[in-house]
Amino acid sequence: MKHLFTLFLVVFISCLTINISLAANSLPEGCAASVATISTTATIPSKREGIIRALVVFIKFSGDTFENEFTCGWPHDKVGLPDWANSIIDPQVSTIYTQGTLSDYFYQMSMGKLNLIGDVHPQLMVPSLSNYGDYGAGGYGKANKEILDQLSQSSSGIDWGQYDNDGLDGLPNSGDDDGNVDEIFMLYRLFGNNFISGPAGGEATLGFSSLAPITTSTPRTGGGYITITRTSGTTQYGLNRNYAQDIMCHEFGHHLFLPNITHFNRLGLFGLMDTDSGKAGMSAFERIYLGWITPIPVTSSKIQVTITDAITTGLVYKIPVDKNNPDVEYFLVENRQRISYYEQIYNDCVKEYLPAPGILITHIKGTSFYSPGGWEVDVETADGLYDIYNSNPDAISGKDELDCNAGTGGNCNYDPKPDPSDFGGAISEADKDGDIYDTFYSGNNLFFTPHTNPNSNKYQYHDYAAPQDKYTGVAAKIRKVNVNGDIVADLYTSYEPDPPTNASGEALSNNNGQFIGVNIKWNRVYETGVQGYYISRSSYNFQQDRWCEDWGFISSFISSSTTYYVDRNAQKGKYYRYRVEAIYSFGKTAYSNEFYVNTGFTAQSNPNNPNKPDKPELLIVPGPDECPY
């Protein structure tokens, strides 16, 4: 969520670091810009399918009078719950949830596998102390426990058993559940610096780790009472509906990814679990990891596919680096379009949207040093990698904007391809979450190969590796973008560069009818790295009744933008075959289709072998050892 102003500060949120620009003179006391500390230490098992019922509790400190442009959804003098309180989560299981609710978001992302429903506590809760700072550093646990102690009593009227549904039978408080409340969203209007872990706005726990769990008044089936523990929910603030839901989605996401995953800090707004992300559409890797979608493996050397929108159809392709070990390192290819509500631009004081529609390619490697969960998840931004201190492309050791995200420890001061809204050449905060140049689409970069920037080289190798060690053969090339957003692409496990296409030739004559050569044409190659072309030719040996095996170059080097050549050394009365050869900067060549040109002999059919050219009736045949080009 980004807004550019002349003056702004950035609030970093632990477990959810959403950058939201607040006017410099309107920040609450102690809400200084700082890098957040990640502190997700909950170890509860995650439930990723079926029904999870949550309780949403709205909370406001009596001394909270903060106002700015982002508090439009929850003014400080609002009596009771904000107007949008009952539209934040749906109360019952459905196949069609209210658009924009937490229920709808996770139902859409899970392709109907997860039903997150819940209730909104009808009373606005007010802590006994008037300001968050009165509870001290990390005081959210004390404040949460104080409020939940009140709500745990029978006088609250809450049946806590309905919020314990992590057993196998899918029924709440049925005896096979663990006896602990699954999910409570403690939603404060606002708190500031160090109320939770550092200068943060969201945390994936309730915080009372040093305090005893809360025993509710609701009996547990099988004996005892339902309990609220520090891992029974999340803590966040929400100045308005969208901002609240962004944090709630992200913090609940931590519970889904337990016990191993914290953040994927190179996803930006292309995923949910980047530290700078919120209720953006989830990335293919996140949805695959949770078991919500299954990628289609690419096993052949090359396939052409039509890729539909990933968020709404769940279609994703997986290209392994090693076919024998397909889950160790691979690339995910998905089409992200602004079709889903959660990929579109919408307004509620703030904006959240898909940075750019197109093909999104994500590089995945397991058992990595970089990610706490053992995974390296990195969007291959289509605008490439650059030296962050100058304008030089650097596909080996350079960075892209998503590498400059605060959660990655990146420190970048140069934007190689600034968004039109950027000022100067500096990388804006928006760029660090993704910009219009990060997906592959028509009008932007169309090719992702071992030789492009970015490239498909392996993770573990850098500039000191031999080329054969880092080369993967993985590639993706966009061929067509349909009106409905579907994208036709070639996917490779064994990359080959594009050849010239539709090559053809015909004999040329002057105004007097005299033969003067062969006119050759082809379609230009637009792939990255093509330098130019050569034309080669072979002749038919009629005495030996065969094509000459050798091809000979008949042209000098032809520039990459040229699409024709005249062979003025061709002779009349011959039968030639030609091909156009594309030359690439990385040492590869690619040949066009072969085509045949008759330069003016009279021929008779050869019914015995239709694959051979017609033989001339009158021709001076070369000697038996001669096979000219």
Domain boundaries, the chain: 9-259, 284-492, 501-616
Tens digits of residue pLDDT in 51-73: 999 999 999 999 999 988 878 88
Q: Is residue 42's pLDDT more than 60?
A: no
Sorted by sequence, the CB contacts under 8 Å of residue 456 that are 6+ apart come out as: 331, 363, 380, 448, 449, 450, 472, 473, 474, 475, 495
Contacts 24+ apart (CB under 8 A), 164-167: 164/220, 164/226, 165/50, 165/51, 165/52, 165/53, 166/45, 166/47
Share of the chain above pLDDT 70, in %: 77
Tens digits of residue pLDDT in 217-242: 999 999 999 999 999 999 999 888 88
Closest of 270, 229, 230, 280 to residue 250, by C-alpha: 280
CA angle 386, 389, 392 (to 5 degrees): 40
Q: What local confidence, expressed as pLDDT, does residue 424 receive?
A: 41
Q: What local confidence, expressed as pLDDT, does residue 124 receive?
A: 97
Q: What local confidence, expressed as pLDDT, does residue 410 receive?
A: 53
Tell which phi-psi region holds residue 587, choosing left (phi > 0), alpha (psi between -120 and 50) or beta. Answer: left
Tens digits of residue pLDDT in 589-622: 999 999 999 887 654 444 444 445 554 433 434 4
CA dist 379 to 282, 376, 393, 405, 487, Å? 13, 10, 17, 12, 19
Pair type for strands 603-604 and 615-616: antiparallel
Q: What local confidence, expressed as pLDDT, does residue 428 receive?
A: 58
Closest of 223, 303, 259 to residue 477, by C-alpha: 303
Q: What local confidence, expressed as pLDDT, does residue 599 receive?
A: 87
Average pLDDT over residues 265-276: 85
CATH number of 501-616: 2.60.40.10
Q: How does DSSP assign 129-143, residue by residue?
A: SSSGGGG-TTTHHHH
Q: Is residue 123's pLDDT more than 80?
A: yes
Residue 257: its H or E element: helix 241-257
Please say whether the beta carbons of 616 and 603 come within 8 A.
yes
Q: Is residue 430's pLDDT more than 80?
A: no
Share of the chain above pLDDT 90, in %: 53
Sorted by sequence, the CB contacts under 8 Å of residue 420 that are 6+ apart come out as: 436
Ranked by mean pLDDT, which of 188-202, 289-303, 542-556 comes out on top? 289-303
Of the listed ranges 167-176, 280-289, 339-348, 497-506, the least confidently predicted one is 339-348
Q: Is residue 36's pLDDT more than 80?
A: no
Please say whether the beta carbons of 231 and 205 come within 8 A.
yes
More confident residue, 436 or 87: 87
Q: What local confidence, expressed as pLDDT, does residue 108 receive?
A: 96
Q: Do you find a cis peptide bond into 357, omega within 30 degrees of 0? A: no
Q: What local confidence, expressed as pLDDT, does residue 43 receive?
A: 40
Q: Is residue 247's pLDDT more than 60?
A: yes
Q: Is residue 270's pLDDT more than 80?
A: yes
Average pLDDT over residues 386-409: 70
Of the listed ranges 9-23, 127-141, 541-555, the least confidently predicted one is 9-23
3-state helix, strand, coil in the chain (%, to 5): 15, 25, 60
Please say whether the beta carbons of 272 and 286 come within 8 A.
yes
Residue 150: its H or E element: helix 140-151
Q: What local confidence, expressed as pLDDT, does residue 366 receive?
A: 77
**Mean confidence (pLDDT) of the chain:** 81
Q: How far apart are CA 354 and CA 334, in angstroms?
A: 13
